[in-house]
Amino acid sequence: SQSFIGFNYGTIADNLPPAASTASLLMSTSIGKLHHHEPQPDLIAALAGSNISILLGIPNGDVPNLASSPAAAIIPTMVTVSAISVGNELLKSGDPTLAPQLLPAMQNLLAALPAGFTTTAQHTRMVARSPRCTPWPCTSASDPPSSGAFHPDLAGSLDPVLDFLHQNGAPFMINPYPYFAYASDTRPETLAFCLFQPNADRVDAAFGLTYTNMFDAQLDAKGYTDVDIVIAEIGWPYKGDADEAGATVDNARAYNGNLVAHLKSQAGTPRTPGKSVDTYIFALYDEDLKGGPESERPFGLLGKSSSTAAPTILTPSPPQQGMLQPSRGATPTPTGFCQTTAAVPGSTQGQQVTQTSSCYIPCRSRVAAS
């Protein structure tokens, strides 16, 4: 099936547009899927009745209550929920009490799903999230991909979760970030490998396979062979601290554009050729309240507010399900984002909130919920 590309909506920010404006912007494009990290009633309500399905995130802080009782599950019914993600980078949260509560939380969530919302229903799937990858906090090795294996001290928590996912036909969600692979190895050849650009390739002798990019290598090193993967987050920062090599606008544009082209080709990975993978690009907006180095915050495809509409990462092509098509005569800005023309009521930092983009027109159809 056609690879589907969605987008992340993070909330660690104080400069986000009103929920209604974000919903209007999304519905003016052919974006069909959104990863909503924390349930927010205003955005859920604004998307009600739309063709946009939601990958709904359950924050780490809600995992203990959910592990204690199915009654703690709150599942919106006015929108299409394509999947429910339990926890986010939970194993690197610094709270050792969370890991053993992950499986009970997932079991209780499954028990709490309304009739018809099972792991095989058309709307909802049970999923779990892994820590952000590369360097892989949950793996003892990942290079070459054939060496991929979970850390022994995490096996007690991960193996039962992966068995649960396998039994219920649900995917394992990962956050692969080739940028962080380059940040730990800043050779020019590594940058080219991470950006899907021409390079010397890398051979995995054990697999007998050749890898042309870091994305494929990371997916094939996931360490578990019986569960499908969904890419819950992936992206490249367009700005970083002075010592954060590679966090530039040019690299972010190259990475996102080449990632989309790779996904659209449906080439798959060397271990799973021809197999598409649902991928959620990070993120719609910058998250200016995130801690850590500068590169943690500037991932926003729409800039600091919705004043810069849809990204130009999708290359011109005939209309397809789930894809955006550049409109004739559209000109990208230096940062790779399109300027907008139309607007809807509302304001963000005193500026009118945009609705439609001069760079993109809606495709004829949207991807249905999985």
Q: Give me the active site residues, please.
A: 89, 233
Contact 7, 301 (CB under 8 A): yes
Write the single-letter amino acid at 57.
G
Backbone angles phi, psi at 36, to 5 degrees: -100, 110
What is the pairing mode between strands 53-58 and 81-86?
A: parallel
What is the pairing mode between strands 343-348 and 351-354?
A: antiparallel
C-alpha closest to that of 277 among 81, 1, 32, 33: 1
The whole-angstrom separation of Cα 67 and Cα 60 is: 11
Q: Where are the beta strands (DSSP E) in 15-171?
A: 33-36, 53-58, 81-86, 126-133, 139-141, 149-150
The whole-angstrom separation of Cα 357 and Cα 336 is: 13
Distance from CA of residue 133 to its chain's centroid?
12
Q: How many helices (H) and strands (E) does the chain have?
A: 9, 16
Strand partners, 116: none
